Amino acid sequence: MMIPFYKMHGLGNDFVVMDERTERFGLTPARIAALSDRHRGIGCDQFVVLRPACRAGADVFVRFFNADGSESGACGNASRCVADLLRQQGGGASSVLQTQAGLLAARIDAPGEVTVDMGPPALGWRDVPLACEIDTLHLPIDGDPAAASMGNPHVTFFMTDLPDPHEAGPALERHPLFPERANVGFARIMSRGALRLRVWERGSGLTLACGSGACATVVNAVRRGLVDRTCRVDMDGGSLTITWRAADDHVLMTGPAVTSFVGTVDLDGYPS
């Protein structure tokens, strides 16, 4: 069964996008993980599935899956890519994405430049979620991190020298304090308007960029009084501009979206 897919990326955080708006392809977690494998499959950080929207005002329902097959409520870089894909398919400059974390408004600012309203952060311990009632601004973990949710769990360590995320990332991703695991951000403040970030992502490992991680990191940095509400986030793959808007508590994320290629894959060769 030959199925088309789009290969896309946001700052090198890459995706396979499959469109199930008219037909289902039996995309189980096992099949998604096999397709996401960089040696035996197509290869990607996240696998994105489009479904018909079922909430009023939404243009499409988008589901995000990590390379290990686990599902996430949010994926900022992929959200920008889906918005650009809708534009390529004849949509206008504005679209609304239905996600597990809520409705996201997206706007094409210029070709390949997209702003997504990621909605408000969730800052309570149950929201992240954490395993017990704890102040999310100072977690009882070495390095005194903060935690926040952008529809997915993020823990942020503020440091002067960024470590190799491969060293501490895997254990922190699965720390007992995070019952749904966590995306682990390592951030260095450069000024009131800029920070450097590397993220060990839940279910995918180190990526070149993490959109929801950039949002959560700016939120946590503002909460700590370290940066202003509009901040540039520099990651290995490039930079995003994040604004945590005081007027409505929403977090806006602006950055690129790229279609690398379109392909087809025979799903019969992958486990169901």
Ligand X SMILES: N[C@H](CCC[C@H](N)C(=O)O)C(=O)O
Q: Which residues are catalytic?
A: 75, 210
CA distances from 135 to 139, 151, 215 (A): 7, 18, 19
Q: Is 201 one of the annotated binding-site residues?
A: yes
Query: Measured between alpha carbons, how far is 185 from 125 in angstroms, rounded to an integer?
Result: 18
Residue 82 is classified by DSSP as H
Please name which of 249, 125, 236 lies closest in space to residue 186, comparing C-alpha atoms: 236
Rounded to a whole number of angstroms, the minimum distance from the CB of residue 56 to ligand X is: 25
Among 72, 95, 99, 136, the residue binding ligand X under the rule CB under 6 A is 72
Residues 5-64 that bind ligand X (CB under 6 A): 13, 45-46, 64
Query: For tokens 């977090």, what's the residue?
Result: 251
CA dihedral 65, 69, 70, 71 (to 10 degrees): 30
* Tokens, residue 95: 């679209």
Q: Which amino acid is at 141?
A: I
Residue 12's nearest CA partner among 44, 42, 40, 39 is 44
User: Binders of ligand X among 161-200, rule CB under 6 A?
Assistant: 183
Interface with ligand X (CB under 6 A), residue from 152, 156, 239, 243: 152
191 marked as binding residue: no
Binding site annotation covers 220? no
Mark 209-238 with x for binding to ligand X (rule: CB under 6 A) and - for no binding. Answer: -xxxx-------------------------
Q: Answer yes or no whether residue 201 interacts with ligand X by CB under 6 A.
A: yes
Interface residues toward ligand X, by CB under 6 A? 13, 45-46, 64, 66, 72, 74-77, 152, 183, 201-204, 207, 210-213
Query: Binding site residues for substrate, as ranges?
Result: 13, 46, 66, 76-77, 152, 183, 201-202, 211-212
